[in-house]
């Protein structure tokens, strides 16, 4: 069942997501256009800077792991639409205008590919945008609903999160939406994004169905205790040390709030409380509130913790800009591997790869593109959205799955600082499009 069908059954219109609007073809950037804020450093994100183990080259390739269905709580299989696989040669995503872009690219015959069939990007896009809107709504409902007894909080959240698993297993386009932030409270966007990133990591690690559900719900609930400090964390200034000390109460406050869930098995609730209370523990013992070591921390809490910090690094806050996804991933590997444990970081790296969604790359054509989807079987050939031509002039966005276009390759990553310096007007518009709005 598609989400639109689900909404019809419930007799209401689905929440409409804001799409990253296609920047109009524009003249060359003007020198007076303002550049966005520089990327944040981890210290500015209020994160501890534990020494990390370098992972070397042992990061395994991500592999698709369809959620097991042996338990009573089924995770729906990824929808397939094999009848759509014969997409016209050169077909592109919505909003693309090949006539306005470069010459059509050589496209690999899908019939000769070893990859599992999936729907075309444009079909995934429609479901992913609705899934993101529903995840954001689930985050708002859960965070606000836990202020009192919550009759169906678990079931309502899991309806959205189970649908995410089905979509992520088919093709993780949903991850590109974790670019978004919410202006009324950063908590909604942050927790929705953390949940989606943790879900992708859980799938990459091949977790079982029960763990996948607890992982997703735990990630969505992990900051429930932050509502007690909302005014403090919403200010546009960094916290002082005494405020940071008070903030250290939030994992246990959040765990206590889960007692207000009335529709969950008590054993699951107890494990979720443990998970939420441990999301700021660190495998090297440097976390809080208890300073637990790796063996004492629930593995799901470690995955959520890794997703939480990656999201925090790449998410803008009042006092700093976001960190480039490339740089954030490098920080996770170089500096935080010992804090979260190798397995959790491996799950994150497997899900996001060396070209994480929403990072920028230069293609062999000279164009600049945003990574929109990891290809699990071809990690160096993600699906991208080409946004700037070889002269860094904005062009009509063009979605291309590089796994299907063997003649076009990623040449190198493009740091955000380079993009902001060379195409400041584009960079400013791109940062503006980060703020999610319902319409």
Give the count of beta carbons closer than 10 Å to the beta carbon of residue 54.
9
State both tokens at 405: 């276009």
In 3-state terms, what secondary structure has residue 410? strand
Cβ distance to Fe ion smaller for residue 6 or 286: 286
The distance of closest approach from Cβ of residue 309 to Fe ion in the complex, given in angstroms and rounded to an integer, is 8
Question: What tokens does 413 get?
Answer: 């990553």
Q: How many CB atoms lie within 10 A of CB 208?
A: 13
SS3 assignment, position 163: helix
Shortest spacing between CB 10 and Fe ion, in angstroms? 30
- 300: enclosing H helix or E strand: helix 299-314
**Which of 308, 399 has the CB closer to Fe ion?**
308
Name which of 197 and 420 has its Cβ closer to Fe ion.
197
User: In the complex with Fe ion, which residue's Cβ is closer, 223 or 324?
Assistant: 223
Please, what is the minimum distance in Å from the beta carbon of residue 117 to Fe ion? 36
Decide whether 130 or 312 has the Cβ nearer to Fe ion. 312
Question: Which listed range, 132-140, 169-177, 220-228, 385-393, lies at the site for Fe ion (CB under 5 A)?
Answer: 220-228
Neighbours of 232 (CB within 10 A): 13
Q: How far is the CB of 187 from Fe ion (least distance, A)?
A: 8
CB nearer Fe ion, residue 127 or residue 223: 223
Nearest residue to Fe ion, scored by beta-carbon proximity: 308
- Residue 308 or 385 having the CB closest to Fe ion: 308
Supply the minimum distance, in Å, between the C-beta of residue 199 and Fe ion: 15
CA distance 269 to 265: 6
Structure tokens at 66: 């369809």
Stretch that binds Fe ion, among 221-229, 291-299, 373-381, 414-422 (CB under 5 A): 221-229
Rank residues 140 and 376 by Cβ distance to Fe ion and give the closer one: 140
Q: Are 102 and 367 in contact (CB under 8 A)?
A: yes
Least distance (Å) between residue 242 CB and Fe ion: 20
Stretch binding Fe ion (CB under 5 A), from 39-47, 217-225, 321-329, 357-365? 217-225
Mark 255-291 as b/e (b = at least 16 C-beta within 10 Å): bebbeebeebeeebbebbbbbbbbbbbbbbbebbeee
Stretch of 105-113, 146-154, 222-230, 397-405 contacting Fe ion, by CB under 5 A: 222-230
Please tell me the chain's helix, strand, coil percentages from 3-state DSSP, rounded to the nearest 5: 45, 10, 45
Phi and psi for 406 in degrees, rounded to 5?
Answer: -65, -20
Q: Computed from CA positions of residues 139, 144, 147, 150, in that sequence, does the dihedral angle turn out positive or negative?
A: negative
**Contact window for Fe ion (CB under 5 A) among 67-75, 227-235, 305-313, 323-331:** 305-313
**Tokens matching residue 337:** 């591997």
Which residues neighbour 365 within 8 Å (Cβ) at sequence distance 6 or greater?
Answer: 102, 390, 408
CB of 307 to Fe ion, least distance (A): 9
Q: Which of the residues 115 through 144 are near Fe ion (CB under 5 A)?
A: none
Give the CA angle between residues 99, 104, 110 to the nearest 5°: 130
Pick 223 or 385: Cβ nearer Fe ion:
223
Stretches 32-40, 181-189, 303-311, 421-429: which one binds Fe ion (CB under 5 A)?
A: 303-311
Q: How far apart are CA 327 and CA 337, in angstroms?
A: 15
CB of 425 to Fe ion, least distance (A): 33
Segments of 89-141 assigned E as strands: none
Longest dimension (CA), the chain: 61
- Contact region with Fe ion (CB under 5 A), list: 58-66, 306-314, 344-352, 413-421: 306-314
| Least distance (Å) between residue 283 CB and Fe ion | 17
Residue 309 in contact with residue 23, Cβ under 8 Å?
no
Q: With CB under 5 A, what is the number of residues at the site for Fe ion? A: 2
Per CB under 5 A, which of residues 307..326 are in contact with Fe ion?
308
**Which of 125, 223, 404, 431 is the binder for Fe ion (CB under 5 A)?**
223
Smaller CB separation from Fe ion, 120 or 189: 189
Strand order in the sheet with 383-388: 394-401, 383-388, 368-373, 360-363, 410-414
281 near Fe ion (CB under 5 A): no
| Shorter beta-carbon distance to Fe ion: residue 223 or 284 | 223
- Minimum gap (Å) between residue 128 Cβ and Fe ion: 22
Taking contact as CB under 5 A, which single stretch among the options 1-9, 120-128, 215-223, 411-419 is the one that binds Fe ion? 215-223
CB of 198 to Fe ion, least distance (A): 11
- Interface residue list for Fe ion (CB under 5 A): 223, 308
């Amino acid at each position: 069942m598609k989400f639109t069908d689900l909404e019809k059954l419930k007799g209401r219109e689905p929440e409409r997501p804001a799409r990253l609007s296609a920047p109009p073809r524009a003249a060359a950037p003007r020198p007076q256009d303002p550049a966005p804020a520089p990327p944040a450093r981890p210290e500015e994100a209020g994160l501890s800077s534990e020494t990390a183990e370098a992972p070397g080259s042992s990061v395994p390739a991500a592999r698709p792991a369809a959620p097991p269905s042996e338990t009573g709580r089924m995770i729906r299989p990824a929808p397939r639409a094999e009848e759509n696989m014969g997409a016209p040669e050169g077909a592109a995503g919505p909003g693309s205008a090949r006539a306005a872009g470069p010459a059509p690219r050589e496209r690999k015959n899908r019939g000769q590919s070893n990859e599992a069939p999936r729907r075309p990007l444009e079909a995934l896009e429609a479901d992913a945008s609705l899934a993101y809107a529903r995840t954001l709504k689930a985050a708002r409902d859960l965070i606000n609903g836990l202020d009192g007894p919550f009759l169906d909080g678990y079931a309502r959240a899991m309806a959205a999160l189970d649908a995410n698993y089905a979509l992520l297993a088919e093709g993780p386009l949903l991850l590109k939406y974790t670019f978004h932030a919410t202006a009324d409270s950063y908590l909604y966007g942050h927790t929705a994004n953390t949940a989606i990133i943790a879900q992708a990591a859980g799938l990459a690690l091949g977790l079982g169905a029960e763990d996948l559900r607890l992982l997703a719900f735990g990630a969505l609930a992990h900051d429930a205790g932050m509502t007690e400090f909302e005014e403090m964390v919403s200010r546009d200034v960094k916290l002082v040390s005494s405020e940071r000390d008070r903030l250290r109460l939030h994992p246990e406050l959040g765990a206590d709030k889960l007692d207000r869930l009335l529709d969950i098995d008590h054993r699951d609730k107890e494990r979720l409380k443990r998970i939420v209370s441990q999301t700021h523990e660190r495998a090297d013992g440097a976390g809080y509130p208890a300073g637990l070591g790796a063996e004492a921390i629930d593995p799901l809490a470690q995955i959520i913790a890794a997703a939480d910090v990656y999201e925090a690094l790449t998410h803008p806050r009042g006092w700093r800009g976001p960190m480039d996804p490339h740089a954030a991933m490098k920080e996770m590997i170089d500096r935080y591997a010992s804090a979260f444990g190798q397995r959790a970081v491996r799950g994150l790296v497997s899900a996001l790869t060396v070209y994480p969604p929403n990072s920028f790359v230069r293609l062999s054509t000279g164009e600049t593109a945003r990574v929109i989807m990891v290809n699990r079987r071809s990690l160096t050939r993600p699906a991208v959205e080409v946004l700037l031509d070889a002269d860094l002039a904005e062009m009509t966005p063009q979605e291309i799955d590089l796994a299907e276009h063997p003649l076009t390759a990623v040449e190198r990553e493009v740091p955000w600082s380079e993009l902001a310096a060379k195409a400041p007007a584009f960079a400013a518009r791109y940062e503006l499009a980060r703020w999610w709005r319902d319409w």
